[in-house]
A and B are shown apart, each in its own frame.
Chain A
Amino acid sequence: MAKTKKSAAVEPGKKTFGQYVLGFFLLLYTLFCALPVLLVFIVAFTKEESVTKNGFSFFPEEWSMDGMNSVLKYGTQLATSYGITILVVVVGTVLGLLVMSMYAYAISRPNFRLRKFLSIYLLIPMLFNGGQLAGYIVFTGYYHLKNSLLLLILPLAVTTMNVIILRTYIVNSIPAELMEAAKIDGANEYLTFFGICLPLMKPSLAAVGFMMATAYWNDWQNAVLYIDKNSRKPLQLLLYNIQKNIDFLLNNNNVPQAVRDAMGGSIPKYSATMATVIVVIGPIMVAYPFFQKYFVKGLTVGSVKG
C-alpha cells in the first residue's frame, strides 16, 4: 500500500512463530484467489484431448498451442471486438473524466448559485431509477439507438459516486488560493479550470479513470441488451456468445453439420475458449499493478464526503 504506511505490528522485523502461521493462512487465501486464474492459463495451453479425457487439470497430460492458434485463426471477429472494446474504453473514460470533473468543479464553486440544485440533481439517480426495462424501451424505442456504441459509452460515463470522489478531491486537496491567484492574474474560468485545477487533479483522475476503464472493459450487460451486429460486438459479448453457442450445441444433438460449421467447426474447444478468456482478461491484469497505488488512493478518497 502507501509508502508512508506505518507498521502496526510489534517492532518491525520481529519474526515470531505466529507470523509464520499467519503467513501460511495468507498464502492459502492468495492461492485461493490466484489458482483459478492460473487454471485458465493452463487449460488454454492444454491439448484438447487431455481435457476431454482427464477433465480440467492443473497438471495436464499433454501441452499444446492449438488453443491459442485457433483463437488467432478466427481472429477477424476477435480483432473487430478488440477494436470496439478499446474504442469504448478510451472514448468512454476520457469523455467521462472530462465531463465529470467539469461538473465536479462547477458544484464545488461556493459562489455558484445553482450548486445546490445541481448536487441534488446528481444524487437523485443514485436513489431512484426507472429500471432496466424502462431504460431498454426508451433507448431502443424512442432514441432508436439499438446497435449504437453510444449505449455502451454513455450509461457508464457519468456516475454519482465518481463525481463525488472528484468533487471531494477538488475541495480537499486543491488549494483555493491557487485558483484565486490565477483569477487575480487575469485568467478566466476556463483557463483556471483547464490550466490549474485539472492538472492538479491527476491522482484522483488516475484512480477514477482506472476504475472507469475497468468497468467499460468488463461491461457485458449493455452489450447483451443492445448490440447484435457482429461489427459492433465488444469482447465481453463475444465471450457471452461463445458460451451460448456451446450451450446450444450441447443441448441440440441434431444440429446439422452446416450450422456447426458456421459456428466455427464443432463444439467450441475448451482450450480455445480459455485462450479467448486470456485474451479478454489479459490487458487488465497487465495494466492493473501499475495503477494499484492510484486506485487504492482513489478508493480511500471515495469513502470521505467533502
Chain B
Amino acid sequence: MAKRAKDVVFSDGKVTIRAKKEGVLENIKKHPAYVVFALPAFLILFFIMYVPMGGIIMAFQDFKPMKGFFKSDFVGFDNFKFLFASKSVFFRMTKNTLIYYVIFTGLGTFLNVVLAIALDQFVFKKTARVMQTMMIIPIFISYAAVQFIVYAFIASDNGLINRVLGTNIAFYSDANYWPAILTVVKIWNSVGYGSVLYMSVLAGVDTALYEAAQIDGANKWQQIWHITLPSLVPMITVMLLLSVGSVMRSDTGLFFQVTRDSGALYERTQVIDSYVLNAILKSPEYGFTAAASLFQSTVGLLMMLLANGAVRKFSPENSLF
C-alpha cells in the first residue's frame, strides 16, 4: 500500500503529532456512514464464514453432537492418525482430487485458449457470436439437471451411446469409464465460458502488429505463434497460478450428482468435497471428516499463499493480495 501523504508530511515535529495520529475511533466518529456501509456484509461474513471456522476444533475432538463443541472430549491428533492410516479412503480421495485437478486445469486451459483463438480468427463475426452464445449455455445448467442429460447418453439399457453402438455397457457400475466421462462433461460445461476471458485479452491486441507482420510476409500460423499466443501468456500464467489455490477443491456437483453418487464408482470418482458432503448426509464420523476438511483447508491455504506470492512476483497487478 502506498504511504499516506499525511504520514510523510507530519513525520517530524511534535506539534503535528496529534494531527498525524487521528485514532481509528476518531476516524470512525468522523465517518460513521462508512461503518454503517460495511456492517451488513461484515456481519454476514462473520456468522456464515468466521463462526464455522471455530468448527475445526472438531478435528481434535471425539465430537458428539449432543455435547457440542464445548463439551466434547479432546483427543489430540488421533483423528489425523486415523485419517492418514486409512489409506483406502483418504489416499483414494486425495489422489482423485489431485488427478482431476490436473486434467481439468491442463486440458481446460489448453482448450480455452484454442477456442478463444479460433473464435478470434474466424472472420464471420456474427456467426461467431451466435456460436459463442451456444457454447456458454452449458455453464448455466445445474449439475442436478446435467446428470439427467448424462444419463440419457450413457444409461445401460436405453442410453443413446449404447443404442447407437449396439452395446450394453454398464457405465454406472464400471469406474474405469469415469475419468473420461467426467472430463467430457467438465469440458462441455466450462470451456465455452472459460474462453471468454482470453477472448477479451485478444480483443485488446493492437491490430497494427498483425498488419506489420503481414507486410513482413508472416503467414497465419506464424502470426498466431508470434503475436496471438505471446499476448495470452500473462493471462494464462495468472489463471494457472491462481487455480493452484483451489487444488484441493472440486466441482462437487460434477462428482456427486453426475456420478449419481454411485458407490461402485468411488474408486475413480470420489473427491474430498464429495466425500465430506456424503459424510454429512449419511451421519458422519465427525472427527474423521473434520480432520479431512482441515487437511483440505490447510493445504488449500498454503497453495493459495504460494500461488499468490508467485503471481505477485510475476505480475503484481494480478495478485489477489
Which residues from chain A sit less than 8 Å from chain B, CB to CB?
1-2, 4-10, 12-15, 18-19, 22-23, 25-27, 29-30, 32-34, 36-37, 39-40, 43, 51-52, 54-58, 98-100, 102-103, 105-107, 109, 111-114, 116, 118-139, 141-143, 154-155, 157-158, 163-164, 188-190, 193, 214, 217-221, 224-225, 236-237, 239-240, 243, 247, 270, 273-274, 277, 280-281, 284-285, 288-289, 292, 296, 299-300, 303-305
Instruction: For the complex formed, measure the closest distance between the CB of A37 and the CB atoms of chain B, giving whole angstroms.
Output: 6
Most chain B Cβ neighbours within 10 Å, of A25, A126, A143, A270: A126
Interface segment out of the listed B8-16, B79-87, B95-103, B112-120 = B112-120
A126 to B257: give the CA distance in the assembly, Å: 25
Write the nearest CB–CB distance from A278 to chain B, whole angstroms: 9
Interface of B: prevailing SS: helix
B residues in contact with A142, CB < 8 Å: 51, 68
**B244 at interface (Cβ–Cβ under 8 A)?**
no
Q: A7-B207, A303-B197 are in contact. Are A243 and B140 (CB under 8 A)?
A: no
- CA A300 – CA B132 in complex, angstroms? 16
For A55, give its contact among B1, B115, B159, B253 (CB under 8 Å). B159
Chain B residues in 8 Å Cβ range of A18: 220
Closest to B130 in A: A30
In the complex, are the beta carbons of B131 and A36 less than 8 A apart?
no
B320→A305 contact, CB < 8 A: yes
Contact A9 B123 (CB under 8 A): yes
Q: How far is the CA of A245 from the CA of B245 in the complex (A)?
A: 37
Task: Chain B residues near A164: list those with CB within 8 A.
Answer: 320
| Bound CA–CA A219/B253 (angstroms) | 10
Q: Which of B268-309 contact A (CB under 8 A)?
A: 273, 276-277, 279-281, 284, 286, 289-290, 293-294, 296-298, 300-301, 304-305
A32 touches B38 (CB 8 A): no
Which of chain B's residues have a CB closer than 8 A to the CB of A6? Answer: 203, 207
Contact between A220 and B33, CB atoms less than 8 A apart: no
The 5 closest A-B pairs by CB, nearest first: A134-B55, A131-B293, A189-B33, A55-B158, A218-B142
Selected from B145, B293, B305, B318, the residue in CB contact (under 8 A) with A130 is: B293
Given the interface pairs A36-B188, A52-B158, A55-B157, the reply to whether A188 lies near B280 with Cβ below 8 Å is no
Are B142 and A281 touching (Cβ within 8 A)?
yes
Across chains A and B, the number of contacting residue pairs, with CB separation under 8 Å, is 330
Contact across chains for B138 and A128 when beta carbons are under 8 A apart: no
Other-chain residue from B50, B133, B148 in contact with A243 (beta carbon distance below 8 A): B148
A305-B45 contact in complex given A8-B205, A9-B122, C-beta closer than 8 Å: no
Give 19 A-B contacts (CB < 8 Å), ordered by A residue. Answer: A1-B203, A54-B158, A55-B157, A55-B162, A123-B321, A127-B304, A129-B49, A130-B297, A131-B293, A141-B65, A142-B68, A214-B140, A219-B142, A239-B144, A270-B152, A281-B145, A288-B136, A300-B196, A303-B235
* A134-B196 CB under 8 A given contacts A6-B203, A52-B158, A129-B53: no
Q: Which residues of A contact B205 (CB under 8 A)?
A: 8
Determine whether B22 belongs to the interface, using a CB cutoff of 8 Å to chain A. Answer: yes
Residues of B within 8 Å of A27, CB to CB, are 131
Cα-based distance from A132 to B31 in the complex (angstroms): 37
B124 to chain A: which residues have CB within 8 Å?
15, 19, 23
B58 to chain A: closest CB distance in Å?
Answer: 7
Give the size of the chain B interface in residues (CB under 8 angstroms). Answer: 114
In the complex, how many angstroms separate the beta carbon of A232 from the nearest chain B beta carbon? 16
Cα of A125 to Cα of B142 in the assembled complex, Å: 24
Contact of A128 among B202, B277, B300 (CB under 8 A): B300
Interface residues of B in 155-187 (CB under 8 A from A): 155, 157-160, 162-163
**Nearest A residue to B2, CB-CB:** A110
Chain B residues contacting A247 (CB-CB under 8 Å) are: 260
Give 19 A-B pairs besides A220-B144, A224-B281, A239-B148 with Cβ atoms closer than 8 angstroms: A9-B122, A36-B188, A37-B138, A51-B158, A56-B155, A105-B37, A107-B38, A126-B304, A127-B304, A131-B297, A135-B55, A155-B48, A189-B31, A189-B33, A193-B33, A214-B140, A225-B281, A243-B144, A277-B149
Q: What residues on B are CB-neighbors of A224 within 8 Å?
A: 277, 281
User: Cβ of A138: which chain B residues have Cβ within 8 Å of it?
Assistant: 51-52, 54-55
Residue of A4, A54, A280 near B145 (CB, 8 A) is: A280
A197 to chain B, nearest CB (A): 10
Contact of A296 among B50, B200, B214 (CB under 8 A): B200
B141 to chain A, nearest CB (A): 5
Given contacts A8-B121, A112-B31, contact A125 B134 (CB under 8 A): no
Residues of B1-56 contacting chain A, CB below 8 A: 1, 22, 24, 27-28, 31, 33-38, 40-42, 44-45, 47-56
Please tell me which one of the listed residues A139, A158, A292 contacts residue B133 in the complex, with CB atoms under 8 A apart: A292
B53 proximity list for chain A (CB < 8 A): 128-130, 134
Q: For chain B, residues 64 to 79, give those with C-beta under 8 angstroms from any C-beta of chain A.
A: 65, 68-69
Chain A residue with Cβ nearest B276? A132
Residues of A within 8 A of B203 (CB): 1-2, 4-6
Which of B123, B260, B281 is within 8 Å of A10, CB to CB? B123
Complex: A240 Cα to B137 Cα, angstroms: 21
Residues from chain A with a CB closer than 8 A to the CB of B143 are 218, 220
Task: Give the shortest distance, in Å, between A56 (CB) and chain B (any CB).
Answer: 4
Q: Knowing A29-B135, A99-B40, A114-B27 touch, does A131 contact B290 (C-beta < 8 A)?
A: yes
